[in-house]
Amino acid sequence: MSSFAKITLIAGPTASGKSALALRLAEHLGGEIVNADALQLYADLRVLSARPSAEDESRAPHHLFGVADAADGWSVGRWLRAATMVLDAIAARGRPAIVVGGTGLYFNALTKGLAEVPPVPEAAKAEALHLYDTDGEAAVRAVLRRADPAAEARIGPNDRQRLTRALAVARATGRALSDWQAQTRPTLAPGAWRGVVLEPPRLALHARCDARMLAMVEAGAVSEAAALDARGLDPRLPAMKAVGFRELAAQARGETQLSQAVTDAQAATRQYAKRQLTWFRNQTPDWPRLAAVDLDAQWGQFLALFGGLTPA
Q: Phi/psi at 289 (nearest 5 deg)?
A: -110, 145
Asked whether residue 311 is assigned to any structural domain, the reply reads no
The reply to whether 176 and 132 lie within a common domain is: yes
The reply to whether 110 and 197 lie within a common domain is: yes
The reply to whether 69 and 100 lie within a common domain is: yes
Q: Is the pLDDT of residue 148 over 70?
A: yes
Contact 71, 231 (CB under 8 A): yes
Three-state SS at 188 = strand
Query: Which of 182, 209, 232 is at the close of a domain?
Result: 182
Q: Is the pLDDT of residue 63 over 80?
A: yes
Q: How does pLDDT run across 186-233, given as a tens digit for each residue?
A: 899 888 999 999 999 999 999 999 999 999 999 999 999 999 999 999
| CATH number, domain containing residue 200 | 3.40.50.300
Which DSSP helix (H) or strand (E) runs through 140? helix 137-147
Q: Please tell me the predicted confidence (pLDDT) of residue 181.
A: 78
Q: Please tell me the predicted confidence (pLDDT) of residue 2.
A: 42
Q: Is the pLDDT of residue 6 over 90?
A: no
Query: Which of 154, 182, 210 is at the close of a domain?
Result: 182
Structural domain that includes position 11: 7-114+185-306
Q: How does pLDDT run across 9-35, given as a tens digit for each residue?
A: 999 999 999 999 999 999 999 999 999
Contact 104, 17 (CB under 8 A): no
- Around Cβ 29, how many Cβ atoms within 10 Å? 18
Asked whether residue 312 is assigned to any structural domain, the reply reads no
Q: Is the pLDDT of residue 96 over 50?
A: yes
Ranges assigned E (strand) in the chain: 7-11, 32-35, 62-63, 97-101, 193-198, 289-290
Q: Is the pLDDT of residue 311 over 70?
A: no
The reply to whether 242 and 259 lie within a common domain is: yes
pTM: 0.83
User: Which residue type, as a one-letter code, is found at position 147?
Assistant: A
The reply to whether 131 and 144 lie within a common domain is: yes
The reply to whether 222 and 177 lie within a common domain is: no
Contact 76, 181 (CB under 8 A): no
Q: How far is residue 133's CA from residue 149's CA, in Å, rounded to a whole number?
A: 21
Q: How far is residue 83's CA from residue 85's CA, in Å, rounded to a whole number?
A: 5
Q: What's the total number of domains in the chain?
A: 2
Angle, nearest 10°, between helix axes 18-29 and 295-306? 50
Q: How does pLDDT run across 76-94, given as a tens digit for each residue?
A: 989 999 999 999 999 999 9
The reply to whether 196 and 175 lie within a common domain is: no
Distances (CA, A) of 217 to 47, 110, 161, 194, 255: 8, 34, 30, 35, 17
State how beta strands 193-198 and 97-101 pair.
unpaired
Q: Please tell me the predicted confidence (pLDDT) of residue 247.
A: 98
The reply to whether 22 and 63 lie within a common domain is: yes
Asked whether residue 2 is assigned to any structural domain, the reply reads no
Mean pLDDT of the chain: 93
User: Which residue type, as a one-letter code, is found at position 142?
Assistant: A
The reply to whether 177 and 192 lie within a common domain is: no
The reply to whether 64 and 163 lie within a common domain is: no
CA angle 160, 166, 172 (to 5 degrees): 125
Query: Which of 139, 162, 182 is at the close of a domain?
Result: 182
